[in-house]
Chains A and B, each alone.
Chain A
Amino acid sequence: MIGGDGRLGSGGDVEIGRRIPLIATFMILVFGVFFARLFQLQVIQTDDLRLRSERNSVRTLRLEAPRGDILDRDGRVLATTRPAFGVQVIPHDVHEPDVVYPVIARLLDRTESEVRDVVGQPRGRKRFQPVRLAGDLSYDELARVESHLYALSGVVTDLRPRRDYVGQHLAAHLMGYIGEIQGSQLATRDFADYRQGEVIGQSGVERTQQAALRGRAGGRNQIVDVAGRVVGIIDEIEPVPGGSVQLTLDLDLQQAAEAAFLPDVLGEPDKIGAVVAMDVHSGDVLAMVSKPSFDPNAFAGGIDAESWKHLTTDRWKPLQNRAISGQYPPGSTYKAFVVAAGLEEGLIEPKRKVFCPGSFRMHGRTYRCWKRAGHGWVDMRDALAKSCDVYFYNLGVELGVDRLAFFARGFNLGRKTGMRLPQEMPGLVPTSAWKERRFKERWVPGETVSTSIGQGFNLTTPLQVAVSYAAIANGGKLVRPRLILRVADSDGRLVDGPSPEATGTVPVAPEYLALVRDALTAVVEEPGGTGGRARVAGVKVAGKTGTSQVVGLKHTEGLEEDEIAFELRDHAWFVGFAPADAPEIVVSAIVEHGGSGGTAAGPVVQKVLARYFEKRAVQQVPAEVAWFEVPHAGH
């Protein structure tokens, strides 16, 4: 084991032995430099450095960069950062606590014991650290505090940037909210250069545009004494404010869309639901509302536990953006895709009429049309205009569930639209294979019947419906909804400006889409159509009503709407685009538990469209207005 090449004696390799002093010399030289440096610092410069240590020490204060603004498409401010005044107490400097605490409590409209609880009784170094009493004073409060400061030793005011969502609830889900960075986020590469306690966007545009809005923090090297009190400032690096993000949103349309959810009767809560307005060619999101909403300002100074609990446990889920993550059966809005599928597959002769006796029988079961008395003889245009269920039962069964699914997918249902916002849901397009996989059960033909009128397993989001109707409107192009128009840095230089994108084309020939558009125009513009309440003066509107069932018909059959409990009432859909001949804008809306689509959701879309054309008429040159406002008495 031992021996072999192990040499005996005390020398080892002669060469190694001779080189060891070289190593020793090198080390002694290096340490010699250290001794010299220590002598320089600790003997020669000691007085100077000790002075700085004992009386003056440098401490770095981080200066947060003001977060960038969020603007609408015309540059109007939606979210900004404003200065906010706060009040702090330095416990050590409060010489007369029995005077200071009652006075400051009265000035801030709080009780003395509340103030004392917040301050506590810190010991040691903590006595010198300021305790925050109030974060965002009104000017009145500030004036009151400032005018008493001379008598309040230990009380100081400070100024910090604070996020301000100018419209409060307006577009809250798109704005998102800010909050302190979480430990799990800090551990990821995206936040490698962030530090604990930093405030970042936690949802909506605040989150997706975090990098652009953030800016760069600066710092101030200040001289503090041994107690940590600031006695001077050495230098300061100004923070670089965050860049501005301009959205495709149109504030006027957004306001109209928000107002459309106001209650019919004063004093009642807002209606629940969502609306999306989009440019049919560019995919620009012009308005997006989800109700109930929240005020993101509540998060600006750090949200308190009670408010947070309130928001997260509310049964109507105010934090959820229903426009992108609310999944509802599309109801009769689905019928436009079924017609498109039937035309493309050659199963529809547009002029051929089908008789609707008010119900449809298959395999011994009866499926009712929503109109119990029946529609009589209807052709394709009538069927869509009057939303005749029986026509679609026949057509759906002829197509079969898997062909229906192929076309539904072709219209971008069942997958995300690719709008770059977190929490978007894909919806669901059922197929026979899907049911096999999901439930280990065979597809039943009866399910095809309910699928063909948009009920059953079908699920869509309001944004999806907007995108698929935009494709009908624009001749077959599936656009990617665009929310960000321009991103600029704090000096106004363009950083990012995403161009409109198409994600595909629908598998239906343009001439068939034209037939669908014509039938959808009849829905709104012709007597007997279900969508008359979406009419806008001077503009031809096309659209489709829909009702998505919350529970099976039998619970509510035969009852008048106001006799049905709110939660059991159906969701109301309406999706429309205009002008019908040369579409520009598509609006899709859902009103939860609103009852029938035409009456509840139609007016919501109508208000947004009306605002759009009202605004456009002002902007357009008079000659063009004249051209497009030629009245059509016959329609």
Chain B
Amino acid sequence: MLGIDRRSVQNFDWTLLFLIGLLTLAGMVNLASATAGGEVMSSEFRRQLFSLGLGASVAIAFATIDYRHFERLALPAFAVAAGALVLTLVIAEVTRGSQSWLFGGRVQPSELAKVALVLALARYFQRYPPGQTTRLRDLLWPAAIIAVPVGLIVAQRDMGVALLTLLIGSTYLFLVKIPWRAWLGVGALAIAALAALWSFGLADYQKERILGVVDPGRDRLGSGYQVSQSRIAIGSGGLFGAGYQEGTQTQLRFLPTQHTDFAFSVLAEEWGFLGSCLTLGLYLSLLIWGLVVARNSKDDFGSLLAIGVVGCLFWPAALNVAMVLGLAPVIGVPLPLFSYGGSALVVTFALLGLLMNVSMRRYVF
């Protein structure tokens, strides 16, 4: 149980490791270019390398311990994550308009909340199979589980991450068997909620960004500037790209957040249509492979975990790429494995470790 079973070694998922390895490598190479500035290694790159080492160890730990033990950890983990979010609200200093960092900016509790949310929802749906969920009121409990972290993150004024957490939680809605008529009701509620958020929850600059997608001429100095620079960078990459560290947009720092939220536009400029399609293709393969792992899992909990992990990777990637390509408002959502940020990298690796865990134990009983 603890320790490594012989069969789980035999069933090691080399495909998954290959996909993770390739994407991580691409992400690090891209970051090296995005932060290049004279020295051999930028300080950001060095820090990310350190986080990568930490992330790898965490991934191994998450892959080794049989995932069925995680079921019992789900509720305590959820409580701890919620506690950390409350603590952040109380003590963290306000940085960049939202208060979302603990321990001098080293830990972002909203990242931990993602893992806790997936565990909690997997545990819930394992007990009450989604296939038997046929009425909206059956979703009250899952909705409450999602509402706790989302509400706390909204209170931190981190709207991007709140939306992301909401979407990750709602991945499981794909599984429930609720008739389409019921969704009309949900849709109406969602529109009402969005209207309320627009009136009371969003700062003016956030509204500007959303309006900026509809009308890029608005907010020409703020996010509109970023989006138009991002478009120029991507477009100028052409079919084959400008080459590593050759993108003029990137190297001349036209994008203020090119190593964090706009990392993908650096890749698109320097590696062109082929490079960006290859990278997105790899990403999609990883996600599909994650779903294959979910399908092959020997029990519901494993499937549900794997689906949660896929959700945790898909939603930020989709929101981020849509934003970089000018298809969605500029919200601060990083691209997993590509954007600079230690907390996010370690959590991503933990989730991938969990996916490997489920995959390795598909035949073990």
Q: Do A and B bind each other?
A: yes
Binding site for B on A (CB under 8 A): 1-2, 5-10, 12-17, 19-20, 22-24, 26-28, 30-31, 33-35, 37-39, 41-43, 45-46, 48-50, 52-54, 57-60, 62, 124-125, 187-189, 192, 219, 221, 226, 228, 235, 237
Evaluate contact between A57 and B235: CB separation under 8 angstroms.
no
Q: Contact at B296–A10, with CB atoms within 8 Å?
A: yes
Cβ A52 vs Cβ B131 within 8 A: no
How far apart sit A568 and B66, CA to CA, in the bound complex (Å)? 84
The reply to whether A6 and B238 form a contact with Cβ atoms under 8 Å apart is no
Please name the residue on chain A nearest to B38 by beta carbon: A124
Give every chain B residue within 8 A of A59 (Cβ-Cβ): 254
Question: Which of A15, A16, A31, A57 counts the most B-chain CB atoms under 10 A from its CB?
Answer: A16
In the complex, what residue of chain B is closest to A218 when comparing beta carbons?
B221
* Additional pairs, 18, CB under 8 Å, beyond known A2-B365, A12-B303, A58-B228: A6-B298, A9-B298, A10-B362, A12-B295, A12-B297, A12-B298, A15-B130, A20-B291, A26-B174, A28-B288, A34-B280, A38-B234, A43-B239, A43-B273, A50-B236, A187-B95, A226-B248, A228-B252
A sample of 10 cross-chain residue pairs with beta-carbon separation below 8 angstroms, ordered by A number, consists of A13-B129, A13-B300, A17-B295, A19-B130, A28-B284, A43-B238, A46-B236, A54-B236, A192-B97, A235-B220
Q: Knowing A6-B68, A8-B365, A26-B174, say if A38 contacts B276 (CB, 8 Å).
A: yes
B277–A35 touching, CB < 8 Å = yes
Encode B285-297 as 1/0 by CB contact (under 8 A) with A: 0011001001111
CB distance B232 to A49 under 8 Å?
A: yes
Q: How far is the CB of B340 from chain A (nearest CB, A)?
A: 20
9-residue interface stretch from B80-88, B144-152, B318-326, B343-351: B318-326
Q: Do B249 and A57 touch across chains, with their CB atoms under 8 A apart?
A: yes
Does B177 contact A16, Cβ atoms closer than 8 Å? no
Contact residues on B (Cβ < 8 Å of other chain), bracket: 35 or more
State whether B68 touches A33 (Cβ < 8 A): no
Contacts of B38 in A (CB 8 A): 124
| B97, B220, B252: the one within 8 Å of A221 (CB) | B220
Contact B321 A5 (CB under 8 A): no
Tell whether, in the assembled complex, residue B307 and residue A27 are in contact, meaning their CB atoms are under 8 Å apart. no
Q: Are A16 and B325 in contact (CB under 8 A)?
A: no
B8 at the interface (CB under 8 A from A): no
Interchain CB contact (< 8 A) of A6 among B177, B220, B276, B301 = B301
For A14, the chain B residues whose CB sits under 8 A away are 131
Give residues 229-279 of B contacting A (CB, 8 Å): 229, 231-239, 248-249, 252, 254, 268, 272-273, 276-277
Q: How far is the CB of A20 from chain B (nearest CB, A)?
A: 5
Kindly state the separation between the CA atoms of A228 and B253 in the bound complex, as whole angstroms.
Answer: 11
Is B32 an interface position by the 8 A CB rule?
no
Closest to A46 in B: B238
Distance (whole angstroms) from the CB of A260 to the closest CB of chain B? 47
Closest to B364 in A: A2
B322 proximity list for chain A (CB < 8 A): 34
Write out the residue numbers on chain A whose beta carbons fall within 8 Å of the beta carbon of B234.
38, 41-42, 49
- Given A31-B284, A58-B228, A221-B225: A37 and B236 interface contact (C-beta under 8 Å): no
Q: How many Å lie between the Cα of A48 and that of B254 in the bound state?
A: 18
B1 at the interface (CB under 8 A from A): yes
A contact residues around B225 at 8 Å (CB): 58, 60, 221
**Residue among A42, A50, A125 having the largest count of chain B Cβ atoms under 10 Å:** A42
Q: Which 4 A-B pairs have the closest CB atoms?
A: A49-B235, A15-B131, A53-B236, A42-B273
The 8 Å CB contact of B299, one of A6, A35, A124, is: A6
* Chain B proximity of A307: nearest CB distance (Å): 33
Task: Name which of A5, A6, A41, A48 has the most chain B CB atoms within 10 A of its CB.
Answer: A41
The answer, among A2, A6, A50, for a CB contact under 8 Å with B235, is: A50
